[in-house]
Amino acid sequence: MLIKIILALSFIVFVTIMLSYLKNKDKKKLFISLATLVLLVVLFVMGNMTKSIIFLFWIHKLLMLISLGAFFVYLYRDKYYAWIIFSPLYSILLTLVLEYLFGAS
């Protein structure tokens, strides 16, 4: 069910990106937008890895929503906040470090 929602939202964002490209003909923005969209989908899927630590799982979901907001700011205002878009990586890395140090219990 979650995968279907992610795919549907990704398709809607993909259509938005393509319509923006057809309007502006900016190839650089098209490639950056598509690469960021793929990264965000990968981060959504990798977020299931953080379920072992429920607090980090919820933080990851919150960071994903914030990064999606930053992605939409880029789509509509051309301001690319990379540190916000890549912020869900911190929760994944923190999960990996904690599981390495304390085990996967």
Distance CA 15, CA 76 (A): 14
Share of the chain above pLDDT 90, in %: 15
Q: If DSSP codes are grouped into helix, strand and coil, which group holds residue 48?
A: helix
Q: What is the pLDDT of residues 6-49, one digit of tens each?
A: 778 888 888 888 888 888 888 888 888 889 988 988 888 888 87
Q: If DSSP codes are grouped into helix, strand and coil, which group holds residue 3?
A: helix
Domains contained in the chain, number? 1
How many helices (H) and strands (E) are present in the chain, helices listed first?
5, 0
pLDDT of residue 70: 92
Q: Which domain holds residue 26?
A: 2-102
pLDDT of residue 78: 84
| Alpha carbon 14 to its chain's center | 14
Answer yes or no: pTM beyond 0.75. yes
Is there a contact between 74 and 80 (Cβ–Cβ < 8 Å)? yes
